[in-house]
């Protein structure tokens, strides 16, 4: 038995055919298992019922909770409930099985090696396993049936495992935690497509709504199902014993497609809308810095402290500014939602640069930029008084406080900045918890 106390985490949505394999793999590698089920409508509930006595937690989360909030909400749940009880956390996607850097020993044994090292997190090579006409259809388990694969070199690095004490807010499990990574990449076996019927449901139903604005690049590129067939001879074969081949013999971009070339402000807007919890963490850190500043009086300190408390639940999206020596671009959440590839050239709002309108914390504001002076001007209604925070995400500049109805900030260092507005409940002196948590659904734990 491993001396490392390991916790496995799964977030499920309609991959019930492979869920049993994923659970078994974690249990066999000495992990307790926590599962959040995001409103699955396939056989997932039956699989969870079958394994319930072997699981540490099963929680049902409704589909009214935004998919983009699931990783941060579950991260916070782990921080509050589990990290003090465990040494190491493994969090694969529901259709992934984790392995060490080679097959000389079990995943659990390699986790013990990582735990004994000074490192805090592990990056995984992404081996994509894809169904082909060479699969033995009579084999029920997708992991036993789907044997052909190729290493993928698209997308960001996959961080699927880390020291429990270093658990941070996760961004699709791509972001490292604090500290250093393990010197060798581990491997994961990723089974996104396991049969023709499962592929059709995944593309046409289960993943059809995962978009920001008009973009859902991966699955909308897959809409022509006939083009998704991969021949057995195009992939490597895994016999379960030999080392996985790192030769990327198949170009997965032919399946997943390439992201479109987007204007800088739109890229910024999509980053903004998909990472609100990471931005809330950066804003909290900045507000703490402002709170300790001698120049801020007791009332401002009280409001900053209350503002920080609201960020612990569902934070309002800020605006974002990207400044360089030759360009300053403004992005808002609305830009990501309304941007349309076909209308890009005709839409003056795609490249605001000098001006953008948005609503933050219930206040309609306009952000203007003077590119020659790299000055950012924020204007609100004349009868509204709110604190503003201007935060350099790179940490090269200390955060700056201002107040509506108008504030000026200097973007003197290249990089990205947040513009955040004090919540209404804080400004009027109300207790922030009531406003902050009102729209957060309560999960049901079984």
Q: What is the CATH number of the domain that holds 227?
A: 3.90.550
Is the domain of 251 the same as that of 345?
Answer: no
**What does the pLDDT profile of the chain (446 residues) look like in tens digits?**
568 999 999 999 999 999 999 999 999 999 999 999 999 999 999 999 999 999 999 999 999 988 878 998 999 999 999 999 999 999 999 999 999 999 999 999 999 999 999 999 999 999 999 999 999 999 999 999 999 999 998 767 899 999 999 999 888 888 899 999 999 999 999 999 999 889 888 887 776 655 554 454 455 556 666 578 899 999 999 999 999 999 999 999 888 777 667 777 777 887 887 778 888 889 999 999 999 988 888 999 999 999 999 888 767 889 998 888 777 888 888 877 666 554 444 343 334 446 788 899 889 999 988 866 678 999 999 999 999 999 999 878 999 999 999 999 988 888 999 999 999 888 776 444 433 333 343 454 55
Structure tokens that stand for 385 in this block: 């008084």
Give CA–CA dist 249/234, Å, rounded.
Answer: 7
Q: Is residue 151 part of a domain?
A: yes
Is the domain of 146 the same as that of 247?
Answer: yes
CB 119 within 8 Å of CB 182: yes
Radius of gyration of the chain (CA): 24
Give CA–CA dist 247/236, Å, rounded.
Answer: 9
| Domain boundary residue, one of 256, 282, 298 | 256
The answer, as to whether pTM is greater than 0.85, is no
| Domain boundary residue, one of 202, 222, 256 | 256
Q: Is residue 295 part of a domain?
A: yes
Is the domain of 102 the same as that of 168?
Answer: yes
* Alpha carbon separation from 186 to 104, 189, 357 (Å, rounded): 12, 10, 45
Is the domain of 251 the same as that of 233?
Answer: yes
Q: Is residue 443 part of a domain?
A: no
Q: How many domains is the chain built from? A: 2
Is the domain of 392 the same as that of 323?
Answer: yes
Is the domain of 224 the same as that of 121?
Answer: yes
For 138-159, b/e burial (b = at least 16 CB within 10 A) is: eeeebbebbbbbbbbebeeebb
Is the domain of 211 the same as that of 360?
Answer: no
Q: How many residues does the chain have?
A: 446
Give CA–CA dist 311/315, Å, rounded.
Answer: 5
- Domain encompassing residue 69: 6-256
Is the domain of 148 the same as that of 51?
Answer: yes
| Domain boundary residue, one of 256, 288, 320 | 256
Is the domain of 302 the same as that of 421?
Answer: yes
Q: Omega before 405 cis (within 30°)?
A: yes
Is the domain of 179 the same as that of 283?
Answer: no
Is the domain of 226 the same as that of 277?
Answer: no
């Amino acid at each position: 038995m491993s001396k490392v106390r390991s916790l496995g985490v799964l977030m499920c949505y309609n991959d019930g055919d492979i869920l049993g394999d994923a659970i078994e793999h974690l249990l066999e590698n000495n992990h307790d298992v926590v599962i959040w089920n995001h409103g699955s409508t396939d056989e997932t509930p039956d699989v969870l019922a079958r394994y319930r006595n072997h699981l540490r937690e099963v929680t049902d989360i409704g589909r009214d909770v935004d998919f983009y909030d699931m990783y941060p909400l579950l991260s916070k749940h782990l921080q509050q409930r589990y990290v003090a009880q465990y040494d190491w956390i493994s969090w694969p996607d529901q259709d992934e099985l984790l392995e060490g850097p080679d097959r000389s020993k079990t995943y659990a044994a390699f986790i013990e090696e990582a735990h004994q090292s000074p490192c805090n997190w592990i990056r995984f090579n992404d081996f994509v396993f894809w169904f082909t006409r060479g699969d033995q259809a009579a084999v029920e388990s997708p992991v036993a049936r789907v044997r052909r694969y190729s290493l993928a070199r698209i997308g960001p690095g996959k961080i699927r495992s880390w020291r429990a004490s270093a658990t941070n807010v996760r961004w699709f499990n791509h972001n490292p935690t604090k500290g250093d990574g393990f010197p060798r990449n581990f491997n994961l076996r990723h089974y996104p497509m396991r049969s023709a019927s499962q592929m059709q449901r995944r593309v046409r139903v289960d993943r059809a709504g995962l978009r920001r604005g008009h973009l859902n690049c991966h699955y909308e590129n897959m809409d022509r199902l006939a083009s998704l067939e991969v021949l057995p001879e195009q992939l490597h074969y895994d016999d379960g014993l030999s080392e996985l081949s790192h030769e990327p013999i198949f170009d997965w971009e032919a399946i997943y497609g390439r992201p479109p070339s987007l204007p800088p402000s739109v890229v910024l807007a999509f980053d903004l809308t998909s990472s609100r919890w990471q931005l809330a963490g950066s804003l909290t850190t900045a507000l703490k810095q402002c709170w300790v500043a001698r120049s801020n009086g007791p009332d401002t300190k009280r409001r900053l402290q209350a503002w920080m408390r609201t960020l612990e639940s569902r934070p309002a999206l800020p605006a974002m500014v990207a400044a360089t020596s030759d360009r300053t671009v403004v992005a808002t959440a609305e830009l990501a939602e309304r941007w349309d590839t076909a209308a890009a050239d005709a839409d003056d709002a795609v490249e605001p640069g000098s001006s953008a309108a948005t609503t933050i914390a219930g206040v309609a504001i306009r952000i203007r930029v003077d590119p020659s002076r790299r000055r950012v001007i924020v204007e609100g209604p004349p009868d509204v008084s709110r604190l503003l925070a201007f935060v350099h995400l790179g940490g090269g500049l200390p955060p700056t406080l201002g107040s509506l109805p108008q504030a000026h900030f200097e973007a003197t260092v290249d990089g990205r900045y947040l513009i955040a507005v004090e919540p209404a409940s804080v400004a009027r002196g109300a207790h922030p918890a009531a406003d902050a948590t009102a729209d957060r659904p309560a999960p049901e734990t079984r």
